[in-house]
Amino acid sequence: MRAAHLQAVASGPSAAPAEAAAGHRWFPAGTHITVRGLTKRFEGGTLYENFDLDIPKGKIISIFGPNGCGKSTLINMMSGIMPYDSGQILFEGKEVRESRIGYVFQNYREAVFPWLRARDNIRYPLQFLGLSRAECDARVESLLASFDVKLDLNRYPYEMSGGQQQLVSIMRALVVDPEVLFLDEPFSALDYEMTLFLRDRLQKVLIERQTTTLLVSHDLDEAVCLADIVLLLTKRPTHVSEIVPFDAPRPRTVDTTVTPEFVRVKSHCLEVFQREVRKP
C-alpha cells in the first residue's frame, strides 16, 4: 500500500523540507501527521499492515469504514493510548508525547472526573503546560466564550445532562489549544437535538482555531457534514479505500445536508463503503 497523501494541492513528497524544529524528522510541508509502515496485530489477526497515511494540517478529517476496521484503534494509536507493533507516527516530525493533543471519548461518563467540578475538569490538563492561575482562568473563560453557551462550571459532572458532560469533556480537550484533536464518536451517546447543537458549536470553535481534527464517526451524515476530507477505510487488514474531499462552505448546518454537493459526496462515500462491506 502506497502512502496515501490527503493533500490535493499541497506540494508532493519532493517538496522542500518544512520548517521543523532541529532534530525533528523531515515531513512534507502542510502535512501534520505522517503515519509510516504502521502495523498492528491482534491475537489471531492483522488489523494494520504497513499502513501509510498523511494528514494535512488544520483540516477536519472524518474517518469512516466498516465495523471492526479499526477506526478508533487508528486514532488510539496516533494519540498514544494504544501501542502498535511497528511503524512510525509523527506530528510535524515530533513524537506524540512531544505534541499537545486533545482526545474526546465516546463515553463521557467514564471520561470526565466526577470528583472535580466542571471548571476543574476543564482546567485539569492546563497543569501540564505550566501556566499561571490567571492564565488558566483566562483560557477557560475564553473557551467558554467561544462556545457561547450558558454552563454553570461550578457544578459536578453528575449534576449535568449528558450533553453538558460531553461539552465539558470537549472543552477539556480544547483548553490546551491542542495541535491535534481526536474525537472518538463524540456524539453517539447523545440525543439528536444535543448532537446538532454540539456539532454546531464544535465546528465553530474548530474553524476559529484551525485545529487539525480527526473524527471517528459511524454516522455518514455526520462524517461528511463536518469534514474537509472523508477518509474511507477498507475491511481488515485495513488500508485507505478512498479519500473524498468535501469543500462546502462553513459553517455547515442541517441545511448543508440537503445541498446537491453534500448528497453527491455522501452517495459516493456510501457506494465506496458498501463495495467494501460486500467484499468477501
The residues with which 229 forms a beta bridge, in sequence order, are 61, 245
By the rule CB under 8 A, 115 interacts with another protein: yes
By the rule CB under 8 A, 152 interacts with another protein: no
Interacting residue with another protein among 176, 189, 194, 270 (CB under 8 A): 176
CA gap 199, 229 in Å, rounded? 16
Among 218, 176, 224, 188, CA closest to 203: 224
By the rule CB under 8 A, 124 interacts with another protein: yes
CA gap 280, 269 in Å, rounded? 19
* Inter-residue long-range contacts of 7-10, CB under 8 Å, 24+ positions, other chains counted: 7/31, 7/54, 7/56, 8/245, 10/56
CB of 63 to another protein, least distance (A): 17
Q: Between 13 and 114, whose beta carbon lies closer to another protein?
A: 114
Other C-beta atoms within 10 Å of 54: how many? Answer: 21
Q: Between 96 and 270, whose beta carbon lies closer to another protein?
A: 96
By the rule CB under 8 A, 156 interacts with another protein: yes
Q: Among the candidate windows 19-27, 124-132, 232-240, 265-273, which touches another protein by CB under 8 A?
A: 124-132
Q: Which residues contact 174 (CB under 8 A, 6 or more apart)?
A: 102, 143, 181, 205, 209, 211
Q: Among the candidate windows 84-92, 106-114, 205-213, 239-247, which touches another protein by CB under 8 A?
A: 106-114
How many residues belong to the site for another protein (CB under 8 A)?
23
CB of 76 to another protein, least distance (A): 9
Separation in Å, CA 103 to CA 35, 81, 153, 214 = 18, 10, 20, 10
CB of 57 to another protein, least distance (A): 20
By the rule CB under 8 A, 114 interacts with another protein: yes
CB of 205 to another protein, least distance (A): 18
Tell me which residue has cell 465546528.
203
CB of 139 to another protein, least distance (A): 14
Q: Which residues contact 224 (CB under 8 A, 6 or more apart)?
A: 62, 230, 246, 262, 265, 266, 269
Contact pattern from residue 6 through residue 45 relative to another protein, giving x for each residue in contact according to CB under 8 A and a dash for the rest: ----------------------------------------
Interacting residue with another protein among 30, 58, 80, 87 (CB under 8 A): 80
Element (H, E) at 196: helix 192-209
Q: What are phi and psi of 242, to 5 degrees?
A: -160, 155
Q: Between 37 and 125, whose beta carbon lies closer to another protein?
A: 125
The answer to whether 8 touches 245, Cβ cutoff 8 Å, is yes
By the rule CB under 8 A, 189 interacts with another protein: no
Q: What are the residues binding another protein (CB under 8 A)?
A: 79-81, 97, 100-103, 105, 107, 110-111, 113-115, 124-125, 128, 156-158, 172, 176
